[in-house]
A and B are shown apart, each in its own frame.
Chain A
Amino acid sequence: MRGAPRRASELGRGALVHLTLGGWCVLVLGPILLVLLNSFKTRQGIFDAPLGLPTAETFSMSGYHRVLGNAAVLDMFANSAIVTGVSLVLILLFGAMAAWALTEYGFRGNRLLALFLAFGIMVPIRLGSVAILQEMVALNLTNTLTALVLVYVAQGLPLAVMILSEFIAQVPQELKDAARCDGVGEYRIFFQVVLPLIRPAVATVAVFTMVPIWNDLWFPLILAPSEGTQTITLGVQQFVGQFATDWNAVLAALSLAVLPVLVLYALFSRQLIRGITAGAVK
């Protein structure tokens, strides 16, 4: 029976829910705010009172000046954006196609192919570095963004396929059979029926595939370290010296570098909601 006791327990439960969720958010935001706040302080201010807000004495934009004053920084952001964006699109497209092929069609070697793809994430990623670099040298692709895109797509596919396969397998059989009965071709079934249904999964894969690409230091370092092709993560490293790290600049650069990822994430987050509500309305 609905009535007062039920409402009170609902209230209590509501409070507990928000307490838990809110509590975790505090734990999450704390360290991040620490970095953000300290990026606006002088080096003395950072280490004299790390928890303190920037005061009149300790406030300093010097880190940001050094970072933004470097003309190349905008180019670095652009490079990161291009590499991450293009890799993401290709990973999602090729990944979804491959996941569809592996889950939907029974053919000999289906399992083996899935295992072959999974192999990529079971081995330490940097192992193949020298071989990859040699390939790029042979293809004359060193110091190009193309090299980075190719490598990141290759690296991101196994995980994308694994996750998307999981969600594609849950698409109701009736939908697909109905479409086939109507004489719809396989390509149209994939692009117009299945893909929209797994939008939440695609958005999810997008979100956590783009992060390792954006934050990666290693491959830009060995494949595209030239000044014109540096990514922002690589650019930040120049402030990390052998003996003396320019902390203001590093923190400022890192705070700035999080922004685009945040924007991309917010965008994809919205796609997630749209995908979910679209599916629910059905």
Chain B
Amino acid sequence: MTRTLRHAAVAAFALAAAAHAAAGTLTIESWRTDDKTLWDTVLIPAFTKTHPGITVKFNPTSPPEYNSVLAARLASGSAGDLITCRPFDVSLDLYKKGRLQELNGDPVLANFADSAKVAWQTDDGKDTYCVPMASVIHGFFYNKKIFSELGLKPPATEDEFFADLDKVKAGGKVVPLDLGTADQWDTSQVVFTGIGPNYWHGEEGRKALIAGKAKFTDPQFVAVWQYMAKWPAYLAKGYQAQTYADSQNLFASGKAAVVPAGSWDIAFYQKDGGIDFGAFPPPVKKAGDPCYISDHADIGMGINTASKNQADAKAFLDWIGSKEFAELYTNKALGFFSLSKFPIDVQNPVAKQMIGWRATCKSTIRLNAQIMSRGEPSMENELWNVNSQVLNGKLTPQDAAARIQAGFSKWYAPQQK
């Protein structure tokens, strides 16, 4: 008698425990350690207000480790329910391995334009596996005080750009152009893909490369490296050992006039009273040329197929695709712009300025983000290498173009004709 009772008690307890476990805990995997406070104090409370009974934990992993740690966790089944998705190939690979839930038909996806979703779709566009969250825009920041002291205006053309920098250099007091090559990624993801679209005409050039109709050795691409090769004269002494953090600190302490930056930097430069700075888009070649900006889909969110809480995860994703989230994230995560179609009132002045470029310039994503980096050698790593070397004066623009093209045509069939 007692034994049956005990069995029953154990069974009941187990059932209750299982029910409790299923009823509403979600863990989010992410690389945005910067956003932890935002999630804990603003975003998650906003979600739980309308979805009581679901507990959400935001569990970021330090950025350089995220990809490798996530892969390890997914492979062993210890990853969280919601996965913050890197754009393009990294997440596509996870989807192909069956780690991310396919989201086709989810009504919330209608809130996003196709150009936003493409970062999280299979090549044929048939399957979507992450809800887009935010994009970042690339440009230049300039120190308003230094500019007004020297009587300079934000440059619209390249000639004006170099003229401004020359004046700063002649003044001898601050660094004209704040950029280092030690970390490499900024030379590629901020500089090359930021200033390049004006040369290769944004989406037009990018799609031509993918279709095999253009080559990196064509003049419109070589010209970008030739433009970059003129920059070392304006960089700080010893820039080869200057890291991204160094660049940030240099500009933040008012010791540099112009810094190539992404919209994500707004928060950093506005902290602690900060300096008075403005933004300008990458200068065009000649006055009157159409302008292009790099408007890069950066963050999305998807569901771990091994999640034990699919229903709640779906509910959370639907909230991610809602107007409420779009407004909150755009205004609180400075410099990250919602990818949704909702019109959002951006409050921060510099962010507002940058998102305003979408109206005056044509948007494009980072050149090699889609398809081009998936071969061997990975074009992303090659570009980092080549762009730093050009800025270091170790590689000529022609050799840089030749190397990227050689790596590209080595594995990509349309380029092998």
Q: Write the residues of chain A forming the contact surface with B, with a CB cutoff of 8 angstroms.
A: 42-44, 47-48, 129-130, 133-134, 136-137, 142-143, 217-218, 221-222, 225-227, 237-245, 247
Contact = CB atoms under 8 A, between A and B. Distances in A.
B265 A241 contact: no
Contact of A133 (B72, B249, B264, B267): B72
A225 B61 contact: yes
Contact of B72 (A129, A238, A244): A129
Contacts of A221: 61-62, 65, 69
Q: Is the interface of B mostly helix, strand, loop or mixed?
A: helix
18 contacts: A47-B250, A130-B72, A133-B72, A134-B75, A134-B76, A134-B77, A136-B78, A143-B78, A222-B72, A225-B69, A238-B33, A238-B62, A240-B62, A241-B32, A241-B34, A242-B32, A243-B264, A243-B268
Given A142-B78, A222-B78, A238-B62, 15 more contacts: A44-B272, A47-B249, A133-B78, A134-B75, A137-B78, A225-B59, A226-B59, A227-B59, A237-B33, A240-B33, A241-B32, A241-B63, A242-B63, A243-B34, A243-B244
Interface in B1-55: 31-34, 36
B253 A48 contact: yes
Contacts of A142: 78
Contacts of B33: 237-242
A251 to B, nearest CB: 13
A242 to B, nearest CB: 4
Contacts of B272: 42-44
B359 interface: no
A130 B76 contact: yes
Nearest to A48: B253
Most chain B beta-carbon neighbours within 10 Å: one of A143, A237, A242: A242
Contacts of A243: 34, 244, 248, 262, 264-265, 268
Nearest to B36: A238
B60 interface: yes
A149 to B, nearest CB: 18
A130 B31 CA distance: 20
B73 A244 contact: no
B170 interface: no
Interface string B354-368: 000000000000000
A136 B249 CA distance: 42
Contacts of A130: 72, 75-76
Contacts of A244: 34, 248, 265, 267-268, 271
Contacts of A225: 59, 61, 69
A244 B269 CA distance: 10
Given A43-B272, A243-B264, A133 B73 contact: yes
B60 A238 contact: yes
A237 B62 contact: yes
Given A221-B65, A225-B61, A242 B268 contact: no
A237 B65 CA distance: 10
Nearest to B70: A222
Contacts of A217: 62, 65
B78 A47 contact: no
Among B60, B76, B77, B252, max chain A CB count under 10 A is at B76
